[in-house]
């Protein structure tokens, strides 16, 4: 943890798990386990991780459309005009 701080990396917390159990955890002040804080773009990483796991488990395929999987959550304004829209994450 000292190496992270010495490198100027701003960490809020750290958790180490082994065999599905938490074996160590800690927080840098003023953060704490009970104190929520904004995650901003981290939610994209968490979503991508969940999608990757779902694809690996065969629950989703790259060709699946969210509009087909979660139709109750599609706003009325989208209608058919945008139902063919695609959003992609690409990497090199």
The span from the CA of 83 to the CA of 28, in Å, is 45
* pLDDT of residue 77 exceeding 90: no
Output the pTM of the full model: 0.50
- The tens digit of pLDDT for each residue in 24-54 reads 999 888 889 899 888 888 889 999 999 999 9
Q: Cα(first)–Cα(last) distance of the chain, in Å?
A: 31
Q: Tell me the average pLDDT across 62-76.
A: 86
47 and 19, same structural domain?
no
26 and 5, same structural domain?
yes
The residue segments making up the domain with residue 3 are: 1-37
Most confident of 44-48, 78-82, 83-87: 44-48
Whether residue 89 is contained in a domain is answered as no
59 and 32, same structural domain?
no
Region of 81 (left: φ > 0; alpha: ψ -120 to 50; beta: rest) is alpha
Which structure tokens are listed for 36?
């929520």
Whether residue 17 is contained in a domain is answered as yes
């Amino acid at each position: 943890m000292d190496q992270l701080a010495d490198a100027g990396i701003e960490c809020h917390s750290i958790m180490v798990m082994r065999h599905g159990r938490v074996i160590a955890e800690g927080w840098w002040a003023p953060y704490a386990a009970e104190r929520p804080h904004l995650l901003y773009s981290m939610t994209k990483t968490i979503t991508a991780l969940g999608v990757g796991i779902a694809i690996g488990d065969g629950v989703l395929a790259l060709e699946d459309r969210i509009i087909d999987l979660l139709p109750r959550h599609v706003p009325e304004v989208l209608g058919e005009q945008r139902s063919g829209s695609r959003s992609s994450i690409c990497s090199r």
